[in-house]
């Protein structure tokens, strides 16, 4: 699957631009995409058409092939690099359509677990325990009390985990207090944060509206990409396109630069996923008119909620990130300088963790104030 045919990248940016949160923000478009695809695989009619438009696939078979390719990228392990993705379906529905079951087992490698949602707390703890195991305890409580109840019929879950060492590690003794400017060129709005620094050959380039820096991991198919605005982050976000992101990756050149980047950690971030899905055009699936007849013929199911959590820690050694998404379904009862450039990420910037060959965005985020991170 080449860069142009990969649907996750455009989904990532489209989704990001619709999120109402304008401060520090981090999520996993890949995890949300995979969890929604589990639901889409059981849809039909207008519900399916809306999924096709938002997730960018022509038919269920093509989606299966895309998911297979994505899953291969997300299953790699070595001493210095690990990425893993797992899917699981918790079903209170006894009559799951066999074709659906075979499809998700083949393409998603998804496990099925029959549960009794009347035992709500037991099921909730069971789901949270599985997510915690898959994310190496980085996400311990995806589902808070009240997230599911006796009327829940199915929960479709994806969990994604990454732990990656930098190819060019930062030296801990070079990390120092430094100013981070909340607004560019405004000396009155600044905070003191821990700033890491390193000099190495990074893929780097100056483009219209931003500087681009690529920080490779030991597995060089993956990297953190930084988009550092020339003016302010609002202008960059409003104008940035997926084509510009791909071009920056393609046209950047290995350059010896002095890089300064905050050491940071974000945890427990969540947002109103349903609002974003509606803006993306997924509407019928969230109502009593939803058609999930390819999943279950005996009950009329709809998506009552989508819950997402993502966490990340960036330090001198590398990056550790995790995310989990639960789709909850209920029955309806209704250009480079020759001198050594200095790149200071000392103002708000965008960043992603990306599979470079296919430009698949695993994680995407924004740093507006590192001091406010937990």
Residues 74 and 202 in one domain: no
Q: Is residue 153 domain-shared with residue 231, that is, in the same domain?
A: no
Within this chain, do residues 43 and 85 fall inside the same structural domain, yes or no? Answer: yes
Mean pLDDT, range 75-82, rounded to an integer? 92
| Confidence check: pLDDT of 270 > 70 | no
Residues 83 and 113 in one domain: yes
* 20 against 334, higher pLDDT: 20
Domain around 145 = 7-165+266-331
**Stretch 63-92: mean pLDDT:** 93
- Is residue 208 assigned to a domain? yes
For residue 374, being part of any structural domain is answered with no
Give the separation between CA 195 and CA 62, rounded to whole angstroms: 44
How many percent of the chain have pLDDT more than 90?
Answer: 79
pLDDT of residue 94: 85
Q: How far is 289 from 286, CA to CA, in rounded Å?
A: 8
pLDDT over 60 (residue 334): no
| pLDDT at residue 337, rounded to an integer | 41
Confidence of residue 3 (pLDDT cuts 50, 70, 90): very low
- The mean of the pLDDT values for the chain is 91
CATH number at residue 179: 2.30.39.10
- How far apart are the C-alpha atoms of 280 and 306, rounded to whole Å? 14
Per-residue pLDDT tens over the stretch 9-67: 889 999 999 987 788 999 999 999 999 999 999 999 999 999 999 999 999 999 999 99
Residue 298: the pLDDT is: 87
Q: Residue 324 is part of a domain; what is its CATH number?
A: 3.30.497.10
Which phi and psi angles does 237 have, rounded to 5°? -65, -40
Q: How many domains does the chain have?
A: 2
Residue 180 lies in a domain: yes
pLDDT at 31: 95
In a domain, residue 373? The reply is no
Q: Examine the domain organization and report whether 273 and 229 are in the same domain.
A: no
**195-252 pLDDT tens trace:** 999 999 999 999 999 999 999 999 999 999 999 999 889 999 999 999 999 999 999 9
Question: How does residue 90 score in pLDDT terms, banded at 50, 70 and 90?
Answer: very high
pLDDT of residue 336: 39
Q: What is the pLDDT of residue 374?
A: 61
1 found inside a domain: no
Do both 186 and 283 map to the same domain? no
Q: In this structure, is residue 372 part of a structural domain?
A: no
- On the question of pLDDT at 2 being above 60, the answer is no
Co-location of 15 and 109 in the same domain: yes
- How remote is the C-alpha of 298 from its chain's centroid? 33
**CA separation for the pair 89, 292 (Å, rounded):** 15
Continuous H helices in 135-280: 233-239, 242-251, 273-279
Same domain assignment for residues 34 and 176: no
């Amino acid at each position: 699957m080449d860069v142009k045919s990969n649907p996750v990248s455009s989904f990532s940016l489209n989704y990001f631009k619709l999120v109402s949160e304008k401060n520090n923000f981090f999520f996993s478009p890949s995890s949300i995409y995979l969890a929604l695809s589990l639901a889409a695989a059981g849809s039909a009619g207008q519900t399916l058409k809306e999924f096709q438009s938002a997730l960018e696939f022509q038919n269920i078979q093509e989606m299966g092939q895309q998911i297979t390719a994505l899953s291969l990228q997300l299953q790699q392990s070595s001493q210095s690099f690990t990425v893993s993705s797992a899917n699981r379906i918790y079903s209170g529905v006894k009559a799951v359509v066999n074709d659906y079951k075979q499809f998700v087992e083949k393409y998603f490698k998804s496990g099925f677990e029959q549960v009794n949602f009347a035992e709500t707390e037991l099921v909730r703890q069971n789901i949270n325990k599985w997510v915690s195991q898959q994310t190496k305890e980085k996400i311990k409580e995806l589902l808070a009390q009240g997230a599911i109840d006796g009327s829940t019929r199915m929960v479709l879950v994806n969990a994604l985990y990454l732990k990656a060492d930098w190819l060019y590690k930062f030296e801990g003794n070079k990390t120092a207090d430094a100013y981070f400017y909340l607004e560019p060129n405004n000396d009155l709005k600044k905070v003191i944060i821990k700033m890491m620094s390193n000099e190495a050959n990074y893929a780097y380039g100056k483009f219209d509206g931003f500087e681009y820096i690529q920080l490779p991991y030991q597995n060089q198919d993956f990297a953190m990409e930084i988009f550092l605005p020339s003016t302010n982050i609002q202008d960059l976000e409003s104008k940035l396109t997926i084509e510009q992101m791909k071009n920056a990756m393609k046209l950047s050149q290995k350059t010896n630069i002095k890089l300064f980047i905050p050491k940071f950690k974000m945890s427990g971030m969540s947002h109103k996923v349903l609002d974003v899905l509606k803006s993306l055009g997924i509407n019928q699936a969230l109502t009593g008119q939803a058609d999930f007849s390819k999943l279950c013929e005996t009950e009329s199911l709809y998506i009552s909620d989508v819950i997402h959590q993502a966490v990340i820690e960036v330090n001198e050694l590398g990056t550790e990130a995790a995310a989990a998404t639960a789709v909850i379904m209920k029955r309806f009862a209704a250009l480079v300088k020759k001198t050594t450039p200095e790149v200071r990420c000392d103002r708000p910037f965008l960043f992603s963790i990306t599979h470079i060959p296919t430009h698949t965005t695993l994680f995407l985020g924004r740093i507006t104030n590192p001091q406010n991170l937990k």
